[in-house]
Amino acid sequence: MKLAFSIAKRFLMSAKRHTIVIVFCIAIGVSIQVFIGLLLTGLGNSLIDSTIGSSSQITITYEDNLANYNSTVLAVSEASDNISVVTETLTISGALTNDTLTENIVFRGFNFDTANQIYKFDYLIVEGQLPTSNNQVALGIELKEMLDINVGDTIVYNSTVFGEEVLEITGFFDFNVLAINQSWVITPLTTVQDIIGEGDQIGKIEMQLDEVDDDLETKAAIVAALDDDTLDIVTWSEQNGDLLSSISSQQSSSILIQVCVIISVILSIVSVLSITVLQKSRQLSILKAMGIQDKDASFIFLFEGFLLGIFGAMLGVVFGVGLTYAFTTFAVGSDGSPIIPLTLDYGFIALSAGIALTASTLAALSPAIKSSKLSVIEVIRNG
């Protein structure tokens, strides 16, 4: 084995141009794999984050508002270690009126101490500040122009069910979602509770997770903890089937491209090492005449494939990560942020390098078999 490894190194060094070419072939294949894989991983993470990063990832909705909810909120938060934030909310509909202007709205009451960890309201406020006391509200930025209002103005909430209430405007927020900016009005939870007039109640329990991919398992843990079959519990993946299908399609296309790249790498290694067998047939015959075993002759080319795979994979990872970094650095949006964020999935990088190493080693099997069958008599007879 040691002799075969030493001969393999000699063969590679004696044909440096061929060695460099095949190493670069492997490196290019691995770099394409790494670049496409990391790019699609970053795109998938970006899509998920933009869709659910600042929203509830599991929501429990009560058909009738829930009183004495503190014990339930505590039970939910302790149902799974995957739950990072739990907050309670209460939502009603109605309209806002400013003189002759009226707009239908969704009036949402939050416990801002916890809800801010989910919705990031502090970062979304573009004018003024969050409401801090009863009858104070913040509105979507689109409502500012629709109702011709400013921070410090008062506005009237009216509902055929709950009557009228005068509210003070403390700020405006921008979710970058037109439907929310045109309809949401946020306020402390107690404001909506007072308008309803039925005491300390909530309508929903919302939460975010540490591992968003485990939402269904977390939902099952919540169902078991609450032991109430009447609850409507919805996860982000159940609400975003189209998004998951899109990400799955991207991953499938990525796998197809990677398979094609691996096949091209294998074919290039097989062709180069097969030529090497022919070129080195005289040397192999001399080695066999000197007593080297067929098995050791085979290992020479397996070691060649292995060494080519190591250097090609290492160089390919460097190229692939560098290309990804360059893309995310220079491909930026109007605000200067990357179009696709840099995501270094070390597991995927290691897998890509491992696949290339395995493929290059297996690609050497055909030349290795040919070398083991090489006949000393035939080589001498054919010159």
Stretch 111-135: mean pLDDT: 91
CA neighbor of 23 nearest in space, from 14, 38, 34, 12: 12
> Across-strand partners of 224?
none
- Give the Cα separation of 193 and 212 in Å (integer): 31
Range from 96-105, 270-279, 343-352 carrying the lowest mean pLDDT: 270-279
| Selection from 157-171, 308-322, 327-341, 354-368 with the highest mean pLDDT | 157-171
Q: How far is CA 53 from the centre of its chain?
A: 11
| Domain hosting residue 139, numbered range | 56-237
pLDDT attached to residue 346? 84
The mean pLDDT value of the chain amounts to 80
pLDDT attached to residue 379? 46
pLDDT attached to residue 281? 55
Kindly state whether residues 270 and 318 are assigned to the same domain.
Answer: yes
Kindly state whether residues 346 and 366 are assigned to the same domain.
Answer: yes
pLDDT attached to residue 182? 92
Please say whether the beta carbons of 274 and 266 come within 8 A: no
Domain boundary pick from 211, 237, 263: 237
Kindly state whether residues 97 and 225 are assigned to the same domain.
Answer: yes
Kindly state whether residues 260 and 303 are assigned to the same domain.
Answer: yes
C-alpha gyration radius of the chain: 32
Range from 187-196, 206-215, 235-244, 308-317 carrying the lowest mean pLDDT: 235-244
Kindly state whether residues 46 and 94 are assigned to the same domain.
Answer: no
No. of H helices and E strands in the chain? 16, 10
Kindly state whether residues 78 and 203 are assigned to the same domain.
Answer: yes
- Give the Cα separation of 21 and 261 in Å (integer): 16
Stretch 13-42: mean pLDDT: 80
What pTM did the predictor assign? 0.66
Kindly state whether residues 229 and 128 are assigned to the same domain.
Answer: yes
Please say whether the beta carbons of 273 and 84 come within 8 A: no
205 φ, ψ (degrees, to nearest 5): -120, 120
Range from 88-92, 206-210, 261-265 carrying the lowest mean pLDDT: 261-265
Residue 271 has pLDDT above 70, yes or no: no
- Angle in degrees, 0-180, between the axes of helices 346-363 and 365-372, rounded to the nearest 10: 20
Number of folded domains in the chain? 2
Kindly state whether residues 142 and 39 are assigned to the same domain.
Answer: no
Q: What percent of the chain has pLDDT over 90?
A: 27
The neighbour count for residue 234, using CB atoms within 10 Å, is 15
CA neighbor of 124 nearest in space, from 105, 134, 110, 135: 110
Residue 71 has pLDDT above 60, yes or no: yes
Kindly state whether residues 192 and 166 are assigned to the same domain.
Answer: yes
Residue 377 has pLDDT above 80, yes or no: no
Domain boundary pick from 237, 257, 274: 237
